[in-house]
Structure 1
Amino acid sequence: MANTPGAKKAVRKIARRTEVNTARRSRVRTYLRKFQEALTSGDKTAATAAFVKAQSELMRAVTKGVVHKNTGSRKVSRLAAQLKKLSA
């Protein structure tokens, strides 16, 4: 248990940050799911639009520190490969 005032403040800050990061991570997962749904439907235009939104949201999560840079790049690369396979 936190005893000093500084430690108590740190606990409050961590709780706020965790809540925000959870919301951001959930938002990323939502856009990834929408991309997968568009991909399985076979609609190329919808999949392309969903890819752009998912890529944007992933890179935003990278800049906010929710996702590591390499993880975000890897996920975007894999999404692009799936989209390319659909159009081939």
Structure 2
Amino acid sequence: MLRATSRMANIKQQKKRVETASRQRLENLRYRSTIKTLAKRLERAVEDGDTELVESEHRALVRTIDKAVARGALHRNAAARKKSQAARVLAGAEA
């Protein structure tokens, strides 16, 4: 019978890789979570109608998305999609 348990490596280098992968996974999660938060803040700023806040939130969102792509936390096509969505939200604020 097969068991679905995760087993820890018993080779020293593999233990290090498991730790590294875990740290990287958490950092990637932080990037993705921050992008979602910034997107919500942009939408809220558009609803409030504050143009300065909308511009700064959009800039912060695009910058974070670009950093996530450079870091490898986000695929470039997913980043392009998210930036396009943010641009549509921004265009809605200007209309």
Larger Rg: 2
Which of 63, 75, 81 does residue 82 from structure 2 map onto? 75
Q: Which residue of 2 aligns with 1:39?
A: 46
Tell me if the contact between 2:62 and 2:83 (Cα under 8 Å) persists in the aligned partners.
yes
Which stretches in structure 2 are left out of the alignment for 5+ residues? 1-6
Unaligned runs of 5+ in 1: none
Q: Compare relative contact order (CA 8 Å, sep 6+) and give the higher one, 1 or 2.
A: 2
Quote how far apart the aligned CAs of 1:20 are: 1.9
Between Structure 1 and Structure 2, how many residues are aligned?
Answer: 88
* Identity, % of aligned positions: 27
Partner of 1:62: 69
Deviations 1:9-61 (A, max 9, x none): 21111112122222222222222221111012122222122111111111111
Partner of 2:19: 12
Give the TM-score, by structure 2 length.
Answer: 0.80
Q: Calculate the TM-score normalised by the size of structure 1.
A: 0.85
CA distance in 2 between partners of 1:23 and 1:11 (Å): 19
Distance in 2 separating the partners of 1:16 and 1:80:
32
Please tell me the root mean square deviation across aligned C-alpha atoms, in Å: 1.5
Q: Which has the higher helix share?
A: 1
